Structure 1
Amino acid sequence: MRVRFSRTFRNSAGATALAAALIAGAGTAEAQAGPGQVAQPGPGGAASATGAGTVPNEAANTPAESAIASNDNATRQADATIPGDIVVTAQKRTERLVQVPLAVTAITGDALATQQINETNSLTRAIPSLSYQAGNNPGNNSFRIRGVGTQLFSLGVEAAVAVVTDGVVAPRQAQGFADLADLERVEVLRGPQGTLFGKNATAGVINIVTARPAREFGGRVDGTIAEDGEYRVKGTVTGPLTDTLRARLSSFYNHVGGFIENAATGNDTNGQKSWGVRGKLEWDATPNLNLLLTGDHNETRADCCSRVPVRIVTPAVQALLGSITASPGNRMVSNDDASFFDTNTTVASLQANWDLGPATVTSISAFQRFTESDQFEPDQIASDPVRYVGAFPYSQWNQNASQFQYNNYSQELRLGSNGTRDLTYVVGVFYNRLDLARQYNRRRQRCAAGTLGQPCTVTSADSSGFNGTFRSDNLAGFGQVDWRVAGGLHAIGGLRYQYEKQTVTGTVFGPLVTGDALFPGTVINSGTRSRDDRALTGRAGLRYEVNRNLQFYGTYTRGYKAFALDLDVSTNFATQTGIAPEHVNAYELGAKWLAPGGMFDINAALFRSDFTNLQVQALVTDVAAGTFQTVLANAGKSRSQGFEIEATMRPSSNFTVAANFTLLDATIDVPGQSCPIQVQSSATVYTSNFPTNSCYIRRQTVNGVTTSSNPIIDVVGGNLPATPRYRVGLTPRYEHDIGGWSAFVQVGINYQSEVNFALNQDPLLVQKGYALVDGSIGFHDADNRYNLTFFVRNLFDEHYFTQLNHGTILATTANPNDLWANVSKDADRYVGATFGVRF
């Protein structure tokens, strides 16, 4: 049954009343850590505004962490009650955030839950400089940090933003979009992090730390209910089994109903179900040897991702869609419900920490198994049975199915110094083996004649497919030191040397059905290609500690992302050479200050990253054939530069304000892109002196043979896709005790300026700037055993898109202005509540 409370709130009176209630409320249940702040456990394990100084006890119980806590105990005790004193593992050592010379945002699991951030793609609401762009399915979604990310369909390409969970890196970005449950904290490291985290971190790292087994028995259960059939439940139980053995078991189940109505089927679509379970066993084998065994399995079933028509000007398309009125607020589609996205993920890891006193040896061994089955319906119209749509290359495109699976083995062994000595270090080796297989089939049908929108009696079809395997081996050695030269002056240096080998075997075949034609543009082929490479990268810089709560730093980083062999239906497996490695030279100046008494903390960074051979996905359109092919490419160069500032102010023990601001100039040069289809018909032929940032046809004669390109554009100084120039966040929170209860009110305000979703700078594919306002009111008892939170997402019903495109059906140079969009559930206002019990 579909619940639609939002109809009550979507009038102006309801919105005004709720806004007034949010602003007027008071109190706290769980102190929320704003950007840059990790709140610490209070009574019952909840986050507390006044508890700070160390990581929560459930996490800081390895020999390595205990050694650090002991070595730094004298200085820690002075700050034990200072809010904002955060401990992170951003440099693979346990360190206070204020002393880490990196731009890092850290936020606790409790803080994320307070903001109803339940999946990794929602982290953008809490993390400045982190953005998100939707694809045809969640596996093609991408994160961007400071404008840089990877939105490449080919599974031969790694993401530029690494997602690391408990020290284990997800080998492909499809695995990185997951539910968040039973977290200790999330750290987002901005800028290249390849020295310590490897070759798939040229833009940054999302470092997810889940909760460890506790030394005392406890647990919690949380349930959420929200509009449009959203139900979430998660639970955790933890405690000792013996004096030296502890366990933790956590699980979750999420049901998010469809929030888009399908007029053709009567169903609601774009919902999902997911569930997962994680178990941990932690054993103190000896007083200085700690072992942590983790097993994690989760599954997702999504009927995703229907695109909504937001502007339709072609009469034939409107006739095919029926009574749907296209607009930015439209939440209706008319298609065959042929899209879905299913995944299964299994991860097993063993972490060992051997405390040698001055240093700790850490070993992380991991196995990962990931499978994905997805289908996207490119035509996005109801076409079963096939209907006549006019003189277009196809009338139905429902079959566009892909399956892939991989096994990944990794081993990291490192030695990290303990405590805060004049010389601290991390050195180690890393090995990773990925074995991946992918299959893909596509088939579309056409109708030669008939009446618009009416079923056809005679159809024809074209089709093709491929299957292939991808294998990669990566071996690396790395190290980084921090040496106190004199006084508060520290020198930083690090190197990483790595070797990569890739082998791709594949076959492109077709047609799939006897009597079909071969899909346009398909080249039947098969073959095996191998390639290897070596790279030396590193980091150097200086930092100056005025005191332990104030530092300035400046660093230079050389980053690298490996070459990539393609694994797609457009690949020529016999001849491909792939794309070149991506390199980046990054510079950063920063300052961090935790004010006396924790009245406020501030982190600021001025940065610039210069990329060469940035790996991108080019869209090659052939409107005559009705094809929209994607190919791998290297951009000429790209630059991301700007300024970031995060601050948390605490005027009183009851009132906090977290704020952030990002100014970003992210540009790219990339030649040979297909022009926006609305200007292709006016393209001018050039034989030399080729123009930039305008559509043209390149005609050249080589060895007496003249060739002409399709209409192309050479982009120079264009904007990186899905990258706002400005982002501003403000999160005020007021807390108060009421009798034996505590209450809080919190408002989150996030604004971003306009973005262009297209690499070719298509002016029609622009999302205007918008502001999202979220709010919550919550209560808990004095023992923090019971808590209740009411929340609203997108209070003022601000419609926005996570992707814009021209679609594929009837998109020609004569009909270029129809627009379709991906939208998320919180592109509309909705309300809900969460209830939790701790024991």
Structure 2
Amino acid sequence: MRIPCNEQHAVSLRPAAMAVALAMTALATGNTWADQAPPATTAPDDGTRLETVIVTANKRAQNLQDVPAAVSVLNDASLQRNNVRDLSDLPSLSPALTINYGSQPANNSINMRGIGTYSLGIGVEADVSVIIDDIPVGMQANAFKDLADVHRIEVLKGPQSTLLGKSSIAGAINITTKPIESNWRTRTSTLATSDHEWRVSAATSGAISDTVRVRLAASRTGFPGVVKNLTDGKDLNGSYNTTVSAKLAWTPLDNLEIVLSPHANRSNANCCLSPYTSMTPGGLYQNIAQLPASQVLAGIPIGPGNVAVRTDYPAGGRGRDAGSGLKVAYTFADDSPLAGHMLSSITSYQSYRMDDFQDVDGLDADTLRYTLLNGRPSGFTGGQYQAGFFEVKSRTQELRLTSPDTGKLRYVAGLWYGDNRLERELKKSPVGPIASWYNAHARNTSYALFGQSSWEFASRTSLITGLRLNREDTGYDFTRFAPPPAGTRTPIDYLAKKDSNRDVTGKIGVEHHVDPDTMVYGLFSTGHKGVAYDLTSSLTAAIAAHQPVPAETAKNMELGAKLSLLDNRAMLNLAIFRTNFKGFQQSAGFIDPDGQYRTTLHSIGGLRTSGVEVDATWRASRELTVNGAFAFTRAIITAFENGPCYSVPSADGLSAVPGGNCAPNPRYNNTNVADLRGKTLPNAPKIKLNLGAQYDLPLPARRFDAFFTAAYRWQSATQFSLNQDPANIQGAYGIVNLGMGLKDRKDAYKLSFMVNNLLDKSYASGLANAVGSTWSVKAPNASPHLVNYTTWTPARDYQRYFTVRLDATF
């Protein structure tokens, strides 16, 4: 399951090399970049040409092949064929993406090109934004729910701050829900799996008058999970969701459309448990003689592949989300000075709350009976647990003007306002050193003026420019209460701060259409993420004196080519990139005024991600379509001299000692720190490959046709820990999925069958290693020794399972 592999050194990607690569691409088409001959007459479509892919990455509808940026698109057919349910399914289809899974749902985060937020809390923004129908999600945790009624997902790679603003410094996921149909139609979908997952959804859409159209959609899904709780026999690490949404479109005039889109969701994630995969024999929980592992972990088959735990307190989170968007689009008449321009107003309100809880000791034993408080028995029974909530209220307003697609100059310009109010409360109970209780509020309000243009200053060559002027007002207040077992909210500390910042981001580039089927581009862009606050239980006055943590910035260089080949039967998109991040917001060490070494949130120095990406589709025949995506990504730390250390057992086996290049550093009070310069970022595999195919088999003698699908994905070894612990490396692996089905020619029904993880390859979505921590045997016990244990988070498809799905249209 875990196979460490040696780090391979990649050749640096330099702009000159990238330029040569693009020049060779242009020459390969048989033409130079100037004096092109007129294109040949296109033959009539015989059903083997690719459909045009429309995206809104630049806040206007464009052909994907005309967008000078690295964008991967998952259309409706791809989402349905791969049974995509939520964001966790996307890394299997887009090599640029990975997901970090935390100890509770709000700690999950998205990585783009190896870059993502590793320090979470309401005072730290995400590095990758999620936008649904032009409206950004106020807190990334709210994006980890069912992707219900989704039509298209665009993965925008690299800094997107110019058009999309905050929380887009590493990239963005742009989600478009399904449109309203003109003719009444009802679609239903039902899915069941051999490991007890189920999904049911329905949507109806159509016109109720000449000027009013409506769409109503609802879905319910459930998956118990892949972890087994021996205490009550239930499954864990699954989730349940109920989602309802609507769209109401009113067109009072031919050039005016008003769309109201309310939505609501309830989710229940019973996660995030990590079963033990190894443990030194003879361990005692917290060195308590009455709590030996042999007793409190009885029945758990500790070893590789173990999915059993024992827990007596709920884990996970229950979320409630509700909100609405209102979009007004007015197109100026032909006799107007702004003929053909569209003026859009997009207003939104979102309210999200998640109640989270966790079994801190991860056991079903009576640990508190033996826990000492001030040197005496605590007097409590049961176990250690924590509970709290996140609450986010977001309001946004965007006003933008979009030029027509005709003419030499095309642009979009707008004004932006966004206001987020976040609250976090956490109570760790009931007694002992972990006991704490705090409430924190964070707020950020942003105002921006933005614009982006494309000016065709020469035949087939355009200059791309973009600029965003942004002001952000931020602040927080933090109240610490007397820790449990105090039964009342007795404030013992209060901290607060306000800040205001201005920043400028932009982009400049050139795109050139070598011929109607080939476009090459070069782009330089900058990214920005606002200041941050470390609003966690470790916050003190000394730490607060160093806040806010400075903003993150990024500089990105990208060269690319987009080709339509074989008379539009194939598409090949290439991108070479290099992005440098400065002031990355990450937990690390510092010396506070009283001379103590503490770990808190601050700027660690620098990161760099560079690599090559390829997206391709080939319509080999009317029956066969093949697609693939490849990413080589080298995401490394360029400056982090006081990084975290990992531990290893000492030679005598009695204690834990620092491992790797960890050593005392006089700059940090001679505390052991690791210089992580040149080390890889967590969960950033160097190579990811995705291949897929669908073959449609006509059955002339039947009312239906058959189809067959295949998908394969492979990725290289992955380090899951920032501290570079070799025990936390997931070895390279490949996953094969096969499917088949029947489809009615009139689109009345489609029946699909799939086997997921055909070869039954076990792999982890997270690994951890602990030395001398929760479990130990120390003096005055008779035979003191160190206890080393490891855990894993099994992936959703860590083992083979089967799926059946029925889609029907009425």
- TM category (shorter chain) comes to 0.7 to 0.9
- C-alpha distance 294-709 of structure 1, shift in aligned 2 (>3 A): farther
CA distance in 2, matches of 1:228, 1:486: 59
TM-score computed with the length of structure 1 as normaliser = 0.82
What displacement does 1:461 show?
A: 6.4
Shift of 1:629: 9.5
Pair 1:800-2:763 in alignment? yes
Deviations 1:67-91 (A, max 9, x none): xxxxxxx999999983142111110
Contact 1:679/1:695, CA 8 A, preserved across alignment:
no
Separation in structure 1 between the aligned mates of residue 587 and residue 509 of structure 2, nearest angstrom? 34
Unmatched tracts of structure 2, length 5 or more? 1-40, 285-292, 333-338, 591-596, 779-784
The alpha-carbon deviation at position 590 of structure 1 amounts to 0.2
Which residue of the partner structure matches residue 623 of structure 1? none
Would the alpha carbon gap of residues 85 and 549 (structure 1) be closer, same or farther in structure 2, given more than 3 Å must change? farther
Deviations for 1:455-511, whole angstroms, at most 9, x for unmatched residues? xxxxx6651110021111101110011000111111100000101111101112232
Specify which of 356, 363, 368 is matched with residue 374 of structure 1: 356
Structure 2 matches for 1:286-685, cutoff 5 A?
286-316=253-283, 318-319=293-294, 320-356=296-332, 357-384=339-366, 386=368, 398-443=384-429, 463-514=435-486, 525-572=493-540, 575-618=545-588, 631-668=600-637, 669-678=639-648
1:766 to 1:654, Cα distance in 2 relative to 1, 3 A:
same
SS class of match (2:311): coil
Match of 1:187 in 2: 154
State the one-letter code of the partner of 1:730: L
> 2:287 matched to which residue of 1?
none
| Aligned counterparts of 1:386 and 1:793: Cα–Cα separation in 2 | 43
| Aligned residue identity for 1:348 | S
Query: 1:693 touches 1:714 (CA, 8 Å); kept in 2?
Result: no
Q: Distance in 1 between matches of 2:619 and 2:322?
A: 42
Please identify, of 76-85 and 740-749, the stretch whose mean Cα deviation from structure 2 is larger: 76-85
Query: Displacement of 1:388 after TM fit?
Result: 5.4
State the distance in 1 between where 2:148 and 2:695 align: 26
For 1:275, what is the secondary structure of its paired residue? strand
- C-alpha contact 2:283 2:787 (8 A) present in aligned 1: no
397-406 or 348-357, larger mean C-alpha shift: 397-406
Question: Are residues 1:759 and 2:722 paired?
Answer: yes
Q: Secondary structure at the match of 1:649?
A: strand
Aligned pair in 2 of structure 1 residues 209, 768: CA closer, same or farther (>3 Å)? same
Distance change >3 Å, CA 696–CA 464, structure 1 → 2 = same
Cα offset, 1:711, TM superposition: 2.7
Q: Answer yes or no: is 1:784 the counterpart of 2:747.
A: yes
Give, in angstroms, the shift of residue 168 of structure 1: 0.4
- For each residue in 1:421-455, what CA deviation from the matched residue of structure 2 results, as whole angstroms up to 9, or x when unmatched? 2110010010011111111111265xxxxxxxxxx
Question: Quick check: 2:186–2:204 contact (8 Å CA) kept in 1?
Answer: yes
Q: State the distance in 1 between where 2:355 and 2:487 align.
A: 27
How far is 1:197 from its partner? 0.4
- What is the aligned partner in structure 2 of residue 165 from structure 1? 132
Verify the 8 A CA contact 2:589 2:642 in the aligned structure 1.
no
Distance 1:77 1:214 in 2: 29
Contact 2:410-2:453 at 8 Å conserved across structures: yes
Judging changes above 3 Å, is the alpha-carbon distance between structure 1 residues 154 and 384 closer, same or farther for their aligned structure 2 residues? same
Distance 1:465 1:515, change over 3 A: closer
Q: What's 1:274 paired with?
A: 241
Paired residues in the alignment total: 727
Q: Distance in 2 between matches of 1:811 and 1:580?
A: 40
Does the CA-based 8 Å contact 2:735-2:761 persist in structure 1?
yes
Q: Name the SS for the 1:759 alignment partner.
A: coil
> 3-state SS of the aligned residue for 1:111?
helix
1:725 aligns with 2:686: yes
Aligned to 2:795: 824
Q: Aligned in 2, Cα 1:611/1:764: closer, same or farther, shift over 3 Å?
A: same
- Opposite residue 632 of structure 1, the aligned amino acid is L
How many Å apart are 1:796 and its aligned residue? 1.3
Output the CA distance in 2 between the equivalents of 1:605 and 1:122. 23
Task: Check conservation: 2:105, 2:269, Cα contact below 8 A.
Answer: no
Comparing 120-129 and 807-816, the one that deviates more? 807-816
Q: How far is 1:572 from its partner?
A: 2.7
The letter for the 2-side match of 1:349 is G
Q: Is the Cα–Cα contact under 8 Å of residues 190 and 200 in structure 2 kept in the other structure?
A: yes
Deviation at 1:667, TM superposition (A): 0.2
**Closer, same or farther in 2 for the Cα pair 1:682/1:81, shift >3 Å?**
closer
Alignment partners' CA distance in 2, 1:269 and 1:417: 51
Deviations 1:691-725 (A, max 9, x none): x961122346xxxxxx8454322211110100001
Are the equivalent residues in 1 in contact too, given 2:626–2:694 (CA < 8 A)?
Answer: yes
**In structure 2, what residue type is equivalent to 1:323?**
G
CA distance in 2, matches of 1:106, 1:774: 20
CA distance in 2, matches of 1:352, 1:590: 35
CA distance in 2, matches of 1:590, 1:775: 32
Q: Which letter maps to 2:407?
A: R
Counterpart AA for 2:573: N
Letter in 1 for 2:241: S
The C-alpha deviation readout for 1:328-360, integer Å capped at 9, x for no partner, is 321111222431211011121100111113311
The 1:555–1:75 alpha-carbon spacing in structure 2 relative to 1, beyond 3 Å, is farther
RMSD, aligned CA:
2.9
What amino acid does structure 2 have at the position aligned with 1:404?
F
Change (3 A) 1:693 1:358: farther
Q: Which residue of 2 aligns with 1:30?
A: none
- Per-residue CA distance 1:178-207 (angstroms, 9 max, x = gap): 211212111110111111000210111100
Alignment equivalent of 1:737, drawn from 690, 698, 702:
698
- Comparing 502-511 with 723-732, which one deviates more in the overlay? 502-511
CA distance in 1, matches of 2:46, 2:681: 42
Secondary structure at the counterpart of residue 93 of structure 1: coil
1:392 CA drift (Å): 15
Q: CA, structure 1 residues 714+287, in 2 after alignment: closer, same or farther (shift >3 Å)?
A: same
Alignment correspondent of 1:773: 736
- Stretch moving more, 507-516 or 560-569: 507-516
Change (3 A) 1:491 1:392: farther
The residue identity in structure 1 corresponding to 2:360 is P
**Gap change, CA 1:77 and 1:565, over 3 Å in 2:** farther
Distance across 1 between alignment mates of 2:671 and 2:755: 49
The aligned counterpart of 2:781 is none
Taking the aligned partners of 2:740 and 2:385, their CA distance within structure 1 comes to 46
Distance, in Å, in 2 between the alignment partners of 1:243 and 1:79 is 36
Residue identity (%): 30
Partner Cα distance (1:167, 1:75) in 2: 36
CA distance in 2, matches of 1:76, 1:349: 44
Match of 2:27 in 1: none
Q: Contact 1:265–1:337 at 8 Å: present in 2 too?
A: no
Q: What 5-or-longer segments of structure 1 have no aligned partner? A: 1-73, 446-459, 621-627, 685-691, 701-706
Q: What secondary structure, in the 3-state scheme, does the structure 1 residue paired with 2:163 have?
A: helix
Distance 1:151 1:267, change over 3 A: same
Residue 540 of structure 1 aligns with an amino acid whose one-letter code is I
Residue 749 of structure 1: aligned partner = 712
Change in 2 beyond 3 A, CA 1:531/1:604: same
Q: CA deviation at 1:582?
A: 0.4
